[in-house]
Amino acid sequence: MLDINSNVDQLIEQYKTLPGGLLPLLHAVKEAVGYVPESAVAPIAKGLNLSRAEVHGVISFYHDFNTHPVGRHTVQICRAEACQSMGSRDIEAHAKQSLGIDYGETTTDGLVTLEPVYCLGNCACSPSVRINDDIHARVDRSRFDELMEELSHASPDAFGVNS
Amino acid sequence: MSLQIFVPQDTTALALGAEKVASALIQGAQKLGLDIEITRNGSRGMFWLEPLMEVETETGRIGFGPVNTANVESILSVLNSDSVETKAMEHPLYLGEVSDIEYLSKQQRLTFKRSGIADPTCIESYQHQEGFSGLAKALTMTGQDIVDELKNSGLRGRGGAAFPAGIKWQTVLDTPGEQKYIVCNADEGDSGTFADRLLMESDPYQLIEGMTIAGLAVGANQGYIYLRSEYPVAHKILNLTIERAIKAGFLGANVCDSGKDFFLEVRLGAGAYICGEETSLLESLEGKRGMVRAKPPLPAIEGLFGKPTVVNNVLTLGAVASILEQGSDTYKNFGMGRSRGTLAVQLAGNVKRGGLIELAFGVTLREVVDNFGQGTFSGRPIRAIQMGGPLGAFLPESQWDTPLDYEAFAAIKAMIGHGGIVVFDDTVDMAAQARFAMEFCVIESCGKCTPCRIGSTRGVEVIDRIVANEDRDNNLILLHDLCDTMELGSLCAMGGMTPFPVRSALTYFEEDFGISSRRDH
Ligand SMILES: Cc1cc2nc3c(=O)[nH]c(=O)nc-3n(C[C@H](O)[C@H](O)[C@H](O)COP(=O)(O)O)c2cc1C
Ligand code: SF4
Ligand code: FES
């Protein structure tokens, strides 16, 4: 916890004079810590001269800013229309069932957090799934299983943009 | 000289394995002792052919696609032979000369003319292809001259609302202010759209050039690109190219030694559809919740941090660069009626050949879907087409002869929006689609107006009851009332247009709600 807080303090220093800096700061906190911890709210509010309610309000408005720790990999299933037309409802059901979790939850081994997403700009080759910063096209049940299998063997930092 | 090979680096090509193909090519060529040089180009937008690999030959650039790692060996052996051109023709993935592929050659590419040709991050390649010549012209003109040129082109905003870009710029130019801003709306939230992404990933300097021209025109020295966080590849490419443009003197302090500054920064959204709405976007850029603002005041007068601000879509700003380069008369000669120039049609969903199709306004929806798409991916008949994103109507076959023109679509209670076409085959359940439209509004509403925030939740429940045949007649009346309330009582199109997909599903596909059996007699 101690190093989370000093991390956050450093980031606040870095972003506090940036015009409209709250979103970039929250992204940076998420990047560094993995989520936006409750303990970050008060120092952020102080650093940016906002009320805690304002900071809370912003965090809760945006889907990206989760306030609880997440798994080592974030898996997002596209739920939007183009992906629906290619069977994403089935992938969605399969993902929840095979991982044994619902959206917003993390597998018990801490490997995967499952989230919905609404369009990844890959709508000509749907259904789309994003794993960390990699997007995957034409994902069916067996491709999804393959991707999950790869995750269970990969080291957490082995994933860059489609490496 | 080494053999020049191109493997795209756009999101869809990567999502289909382009990175693995590129490494397999390098390894395979090494084994053969074949001297190759791989350029990571952008995509041509023919996504059904991705990963589309191209090879420079004496007669032109030939293509193979869609390539996966299993095909690499056989392609390399073609390239390693004495007569590449003849051997290539025998390869099952051979596509011929890429620029002759009908899908591409039948388009009118203005904004996307450079897409897929070179490494999008290479500033010299951009300049070789007339890049920054629009900016060079703009630097010799007054702000008013630039705005006049834009007005003459007839360009209307490509983000959805189709407002004339020149008139917006005029307002910002005419509003006095020390500090003004150019904001690029790169939130591209509509399902079925990817043209902004393709432009940012395949020709990012064009956007940078367009924004700089906008800054010169209205007297703004700061720009922001508000990019959705769902686009990690575009994010990386934009940051890299902005840095390079600054180094090369096209951006930042003293643009091209003109004495004028234009600074540009990318800001990430955070997964909120409503932040594509321009005033919500501005709130978000200011670091706040993305609550929609009431208009007036217009953003052109009181926009970002209360200052005069141009907010334009990626494609609008991209088109600006080509309009300045080629002249507004050239641009306005394309199109029909009040829809001038070209539309970046995005063909998506259950379609055999999905991709980016830039066409002059005026072709019909059916022509696009038949000639370019060539049917569904599943091979089943098409049943419905949703045009214009999640707030656009679902159209049955009887409506597909409508020409792509803003007014023609408005006349059938549909919209062109950002140009996305999502195709559904006959397995689609239109009641489920109508329910999703309401559900999406529940998830994405900014919460300011009751009809949108609460009405959409009620909408989901009422549709569930209709489908379950609970007091169906009364619930149908209720659903129409609810749609009326949302249309009339919402501040923005989120609540105001969610009824469009819902009502069109009810009107054209009532059997999916269990209604037609009652009337079958
Ligand atoms: C709910 C909603 C979502 C929108 N999403 C986008 C978007 O993702 N991208 C965009 O360019 N415009 C979007 N718009 C339109 C913008 O409000 C605005 O009209 C546009 O950015 C103006 O730029 P243009 O004139 O160049 O189109 C949206 C509008 C609404 C009501
Ligand atoms: S219609 Fe919905 S999204 Fe638009 S301002 Fe009202 S509550 Fe917000
Ligand atoms: S709808 Fe899923 S990627 Fe666009």
Site from A119, A132, A139, A161 to mutate, B interface, most B CB atoms within 10 angstroms? A119
pLDDT in tens, B24-73: 999 999 999 999 999 999 999 999 999 999 999 988 999 999 999 999 99
Does the pLDDT value for residue B109 go beyond 50? yes
Which residues 116-135 on chain A approach chain B with CB closer than 8 angstroms? 117-126, 128, 130, 133-135
Query: What ipTM does this complex have?
Result: 0.96
Give mean pLDDT, residues B302-310.
Answer: 98
* Among B504, B492, B511, CA closest to B429: B511
User: Helices (H), strands (E): how many in chain B?
Assistant: 23, 16
Measured between CA atoms, the residue of chain A closest to residue B377 is: A86
Per-domain residue ranges of chain B: 3-101, 123-332, 335-425, 430-513
Q: How far is A22 from chain B (nearest CA, A)?
A: 5
Query: How is domain B3-101 classified at the CATH fold level?
Result: Glutaredoxin (3.40.30)
pLDDT value of position B517: 52
CA atoms B438, B442, B446, B452: torsion sign: positive
Give mean pLDDT, residues B400-428.
Answer: 97
pLDDT value of position B83: 86
Ligand 3 pocket mutation pick from A76, A83, A115, A139 by most atoms within 8 angstroms of CB:
A83
Cα–Cα dist B179/B187, whole Å? 24
Task: Please give the distance of CA B96 from its chain centroid, rounded to a whole number.
Answer: 28
Nearest CA to ligand 2 atom 4: B492
Q: Residue B265 class from Cβ within 10 Å (0-12 exposed, 13-18 middle, 19+ buried)?
A: middle
Write the single-letter amino acid at B94.
Answer: Y
DSSP output for B126-176:
HHHTTTTHHHHHHTTS-HHHHHHHHHHHT-B-TTTT--BHHHHHHHHHHS-
User: Are the C-beta atoms of residues B310 and B220 closer than 8 Å to each other?
Assistant: yes
Each of the 163 residues of chain A gets a pLDDT tens digit; together they read 457 788 899 999 999 999 999 999 999 999 999 999 999 999 999 999 999 999 999 999 999 999 999 999 999 999 999 999 999 999 999 999 999 999 999 999 999 999 999 999 999 999 999 999 999 999 999 999 999 999 998 765 544 444 4
pLDDT value of position A158: 46
Does the pLDDT value for residue B272 go beyond 50? yes
Per-domain residue ranges of chain A: 4-61, 73-155
Query: How is domain B335-425 classified at the CATH fold level?
Result: Ubiquitin-like (UB roll) (3.10.20)
Q: How far is A136 from chain B (nearest CA, A)?
A: 4
Is there an atom of ligand 2 within 6 Å of B447 CB? Answer: yes
Give mean pLDDT, residues B107-117.
Answer: 97
Residue whose structure tokens are 């609460």: B454
Q: Which residues of B touch A84 (CB under 8 A)?
A: 433, 436
Task: Please give the distance of CA B370 from its chain centroid, rounded to a whole number.
Answer: 21
CATH of segment(s) A73-155:
3.40.30.10
**Averaged confidence pLDDT in chain A:** 93
Q: Which residues of A touch B190 (CB under 8 A)?
A: 119
The verdict on a CB contact (< 8 Å) between A120 and B191 is: no
**Averaged confidence pLDDT in chain B:** 97
Pick the CATH number of B430-513 from 3.90.1150.10, 3.30.1240.10, 3.20.20.140, 1.20.1440.230: 1.20.1440.230
Please identify, in words, the CATH class of the domain defined by B123-332: alpha beta
